[in-house]
Amino acid sequence: MDIEDKYHIVHAQNSISFMPNLPSKKLSVIVFWISVIMMASLFFLLENLSFGAMVTLIILVGYVIIHSLYDIFFRSQIKITVDEEKKAIYRSNFFKETEIIQNKSTVVFIKKNMGAWHYAIGPKKKYLYQNYRISEDFYNRKKDNKSQKEYEQKILKRIIELLNS
């Protein structure tokens, strides 16, 4: 899959739009179906489990199903737009588009999280606690190194160009 399709990149003369969480949608769909199968199999095990264990497992699997649905329908649909003309970065979803950062006060950095890392963007003075993901998670593997280099060349380079102009 090409990186343009992977992130749904839309290039314009003075802006770039993309969906940074879209690559994780496939994993969320897999987790959703596994959870649905687990929930269905729990009802066949009703008589073998105690009431407490059954309630705990139903709540746990139900939470995973709801979280997966949230990832599929809401989180993966978030779009980031870097606009050079308006000198701002926007974050949009189904309902609204919000300006999150002014271009002049923006920093792009690497955020590490439990063995994985991703690129994030935030205001210069508050980037440690107010930041927004702009890439998928990368791990130190050959496959991820290839997708990281492709991301840096086609998306990150363009974002930095728009921020510096």
pTM recorded for the entire structure: 0.81
Distance CA 124, CA 92 (A): 21
> Phi and psi of 79, rounded to 5°?
-120, 135
Indicate whether 137 and 112 sit together in one domain. Answer: yes
Indicate whether 68 and 130 sit together in one domain. Answer: no
pLDDT at 33: 96
pLDDT at 148: 87
pLDDT along the chain (165 residues), means of 10: 84 88 91 94 82 90 95 92 88 88 84 89 85 88 83 89 83
The answer to whether the CB of 23 falls within 8 A of the CB of 151 is no
pLDDT at 91: 92
Using CB atoms within 10 A of its CB, is residue 9 exposed (0-12), middle (13-18) or buried (19+)? middle
Range of the domain at 46: 27-73
Indicate whether 159 and 86 sit together in one domain. Answer: yes
